Amino acid sequence: MLPEEIRKLADAVRDVPDFPKPGILFKDITPILADGALFEISIRALAEVAHGIHIDKVVGIDARGFIFGAAVAHLLGAGFVPIRKTGKLPWATEVEAYSLEYGEAEIEIHKDAVAPGERILVVDDLLATGGTAGAALKLIDRLGAVTVGVAFLIELAFLKGRDRLGDAKVESILSY
């Protein structure tokens, strides 16, 4: 990526203080989605994480991971698999619970969505504490597939979320 392309993406991220609760600085990526040139740059940047690596499927995490992940999958010619918050997937699922700042959450994946040995790129908009992505990696691992990369548009590096992602190859386009 060209440095000015990265700068344009960073300039478009809108900081919203105290959303969804006091003390959280929410990184709003919708201005990137709404701009055709910026959306194209963001997808190309995320897909670059898989440069020279064969990817069978992109796994996107509920919900903004679907937007970026589906476009990245299309660009790579790979399949797309959603990991959803519990209760949304209709077929047999594998479930993983993880801790949030307050309380617990659960995500799930269709048991037959990835096959043993398949090579997976995980995509989400933002890495914060790493709880969500860590749970996603466990689900993929439990189904026997291999996570060859994890790509985020934004990483809140001060939260050290990548420490919860084991030895996966983790890359972020914008880091704070």
Active site residues: 64, 101
Q: How far is the CB of 71 from ligand AMP (least distance, A)?
A: 16
Q: At what angle do helices 3-12 and 36-48 cross, to 10 degrees?
A: 120
Angle (deg, nearest 10), helices 64-76 and 36-48:
70
Taking the least distance from each CB to ligand AMP, the nearer of 96 and 125 is 125
Q: Is 125 in the site for ligand AMP (CB under 6 A)?
A: yes
155 with 172: CB under 8 angstroms? yes
Please count the other Cβ atoms lying within 10 Å of the Cβ belonging to residue 57.
22
> Does residue 131 interact with ligand AMP by CB under 6 A?
yes
30 vs 53 by CB, closer to ligand AMP: 30
The interface region with ligand AMP, picked from 24-32, 33-41, 138-146, 167-175 by CB under 6 A, is: 24-32
Among 71, 120, 121, 126, binds ligand AMP (CB under 6 A): 126
Q: Strand (E) positions, 19-118?
A: 25-28, 57-61, 79-85, 93-99, 104-110
The reply to whether 173 sits near ligand AMP by the rule CB under 6 A is: no
**C-alpha span between 31 and 162 (Å, rounded):** 26
Single out the residue of 69, 82, 149, 161 in contact with ligand AMP (rule: CB under 6 A): 161
Residue found by looking up tokens 């344009």 in the block: 8
Tell me: does residue 26 bind ligand AMP (CB under 6 A): yes
Binding region for ligand AMP (CB under 6 A): 24-27, 61, 64, 124-133, 161
